[in-house]
Amino acid sequence: MLDLTGPFGIHHLPYGVFTYGGVAPRVGVRVGDAVLDLGGAEAAGLIDAGGAFGQPTLNAHLAQGRAAWTAARDRITTLLRDESATLDGLVYPLTDVTLLLPFAVGDYVDFYSSEHHAANVGALFRPGSPPLLPNWKHLPIGYHGRAGTVVVSGTDVVRPCGQRKAPTADVPTYGPTGRLDIEAEVGFVVGAGTALGDRVGVADFADHVFGVVLVNDWSARDIQAWEYQPLGPFLGKSFATSVSAWVTPLAALEAAWVPAPAQDPAVLPYLSGGGHRGLDLALEVEWNGTVVSRPPFAPMYWTPAQQLAHLTVNGASVRPGDLYASGTVSGPERDQTGSFLELTWGGAEPVTVGDAKRTFLEDGDTVTVRATAPGRDGAVLALGEVTATVLPSR
Ligand SMILES: O=C(O)/C=C/C(=O)CC(=O)CC(=O)O
Ligand SMILES: [Ca+2]
Ligand SMILES: [Mg+2]
């Protein structure tokens, strides 16, 4: 039953939290199309994570830090490779389990690190002005999102209501958004935290970040366009943010690192050095069964290490379970954009979705974001998908 090759094979081993037939939520690791019950394995004495795997979130293990993450991954690899007979009764088919939000989200920050996305949104939201604002190449722009509305893949998303004002209207009106959109992003899950006042340098990224999830930062473009100045996104993005149920450990992505794009002008010293590398992840956006876009992550201008360095440069602490997302992943081509705002150029150029022509999301639509990554020994890993269906407003 355990498939050690393939996109969820021995080189991957992403973590999640699951329940099965009424058992208490516990940590598991995905192996092929099955889940290995790590909580059960720990209770049976097969692995020792200080009790962390019996917990209903990954946070206890996240807090243990890099040495413990490595030890657990090594032990799981040994169990699967050499001692699989001991795992009888601890493996469940994926179809039989319910996957839960894998970690309790502490603080949630969303960056804006794709130059192509930022230039596209600038052109659409601020026509006539330079597409990038003057600060954009000096620091990774971000905002604090709403941690409490981060939901696991598979959770329906209710169309939000709010204030919208058409450019030609004098006053705003209230009602369901007419421009519901997605943002395909990559999220970084903080493991080891810091003390208030401390900074995380770019070189210390891997001591603090445990792993990666896929993110869909749902966005109501009409609400956003009316509310966002001067303090940034608020209700247009806080109604729901979806994350994949599986957290891919950074340790699985060692073969995925690639040099990040050169930065010009030169960045300040606290943002430079540390290897300056990005991840060669290939994203795919599927809308009602049609793949409409393939955003590449490698060209992102700001790296995850720079984002964490910037996020903590003022001494703001991070905690286990904090989540920071890359920002919308858009490549240079139209069919590489990570939002429908860009894909349909502000709704002006509909795309073909199945038999229909579409601009923004309609009730009943389902969007799934997937990604692959190079793994060790030529393996191709599939990150856990993030999917959701839009429900009518209430
Ligand atoms: O006002 C703007 O330029 C746009 C802001 C955003 O859409 C924020 C956001 O979520 C950034 C991102 O995902 O890249
Ligand atoms: Ca976003
Ligand atoms: Mg959001």
Residue 296 lies in a domain: yes
Do residues 162 and 270 touch, judged by C-beta distance below 8 A?
A: no
Residues 217, 285: one domain? yes
Residue 123 lies in a domain: yes
Residue 158 lies in a domain: yes
Q: What is the mean pLDDT of residues 269-290?
A: 96
- Is 40 strand, coil or helix? helix
Average pLDDT, whole number, for the chain? 97
Ligand 2 ion: residues within 5 Å (CB): 110, 183, 217
Pairing of strands 34-37, 91-93: antiparallel
Pairing of strands 257-259, 277-279: antiparallel
Last residue in a domain, options 100, 119, 134: 100
Tell me the residue range of the domain where 179 lies. 108-391
Residues 201, 345: one domain? yes
Which pLDDT does position 1 carry in this prediction? 66
Q: How many angstroms separate the alpha carbon of residue 139 from the centre of ligand 3?
A: 21
Distances (CA, A) of 311 to 110, 116, 151, 226, 328: 10, 22, 23, 27, 18
Integer Cα distance of 375 and 392 in angstroms: 40
Span 285-341, pLDDT tens digits: 999 999 999 999 999 999 999 999 999 999 999 999 999 999 999 999 999 999 999
Per-residue pLDDT band at 22 (split at 50, 70, 90): confident
Q: Which tokens hold the place of 363?
A: 């009730």
Q: What is the mean pLDDT of residues 150-169?
A: 96
The answer to whether residue 116 is catalytic is: no
Span 137-152, pLDDT tens digits: 999 999 999 999 999 9
ipTM score above 0.85 = yes
State the ligand closest to the CA atom of 141: 1
Integer Cα distance of 37 and 31 in angstroms: 11
* Per annotation, catalytic residue among 11, 12, 61, 117: 117
Integer Cα distance of 346 and 10 in angstroms: 43
CATH number, domain of 46, equals: 2.30.30.230
Q: What is the mean pLDDT of residues 163-180?
A: 96
Residue 51 lies in a domain: yes
Q: 0.95 exceeded by the pTM?
A: yes
Span 45-93, pLDDT tens digits: 999 999 999 999 999 999 999 999 999 999 999 999 999 999 999 999 9
Distance between start and end Cα atoms, the chain:
43
CATH number, domain of 222, equals: 3.90.850.10
State the ligand closest to the CA atom of 143: 1
Residue 3 lies in a domain: no
Residues 34, 119: one domain? no
Other CB atoms within a 10 A radius of the CB of residue 34 amount to 22
Which pLDDT does position 99 carry in this prediction? 98
Residues 161, 44: one domain? no
Residues 121, 43: one domain? no
